[in-house]
Chains A and B, each alone.
Chain A
């Protein structure tokens, strides 16, 4: 199929924050994401690969996001999901975590969601690239 645009890369997503140092502390110390700050008003988040999440500083209140709009972090095992969940509950106040949902398991993927101080939702799941490789290889579901 010929498309109107032929991109090289699905390159980035974005989120808002209003306290850059506190957000960085949560991202690096709690979530384990790599962060750089190239601009006063932006931090760039990554964890391998060319993909980046741009964290833009806003004045005042950040927009309240719903859990349907979230970023997913992969961890290596179901046990690590459980450990991350326990850590989120334990350190909720220290990192300004607003909500921690319960752990769920669906199709062999164990996960939970949390909403951070910036009203952004994150999902921690024992996902792998193979999960997506296999889904694309299988193709569309049969109606």
Chain B
């Protein structure tokens, strides 16, 4: 099946002509708390370009650091008084770590720091569809996944394989 070529051919004639899927957004009631979690727990780089707004990206952008790839993804967090639409586990943001052992180590550390970072549930790691991962929810109902995938199952490798299931199947 050569579905990636098919999907990209459709994209070339699509109504919108995107250059990149460039960012995602979420909300928090406490930007300082979210920054502390993103930097101190998740190891991400944050900047606040204006009051009430924070941009988040993976590390690797400074001289000498290894960048995972480009274009890179950005999360935009906005501070709000109330969370109008609480999020659920199926609406989460994910990070990759380098090994199964790194997932286990992360779980131990995150679980131990649950109160320090104002987290809700921290679920135990488990295997699912070839990935090994755990989820936790932050103080604003945003869910986060810490995940390891073997090289053949990382998203860029899967793209090379194309559809494994009939795209027209329900």
Contacts and interface: CB of A to CB of B under 8 A. Distances in A.
Contacts of B73: 10, 49, 51
| Interface size class, chain B | 35 or more
Given A38-B158, A80-B17, A5 B24 contact: no
Given A8-B96, A32-B14, A49-B73, A16 B91 contact: yes
A19 interface: yes
A135 B49 contact: yes
Nearest to A63: B88
Contacts of B170: 19-21
Contact of B55 (A32, A75, A136): A136
Interface of B is mostly: mixed
Contacts of A91: 15
Size band of the A side of the interface? 35 or more
Nearest to A7: B95
Interface in A10-50: 10-16, 19-21, 24, 28-40, 42-50
Nearest to B156: A50
Contacts of B27: 68-69
Interface of B: 3-4, 7-8, 10-27, 39-45, 47-51, 55-58, 61, 68-76, 78, 80, 84-85, 87-88, 90-98, 102, 106, 109-110, 113, 129, 145-147, 154-156, 158-159, 161-170
Interface of A: 1, 3-16, 19-21, 24, 28-40, 42-53, 56, 58, 63-66, 68-76, 80, 84, 87-88, 91, 123-124, 127-129, 132, 135-136, 138-141, 143
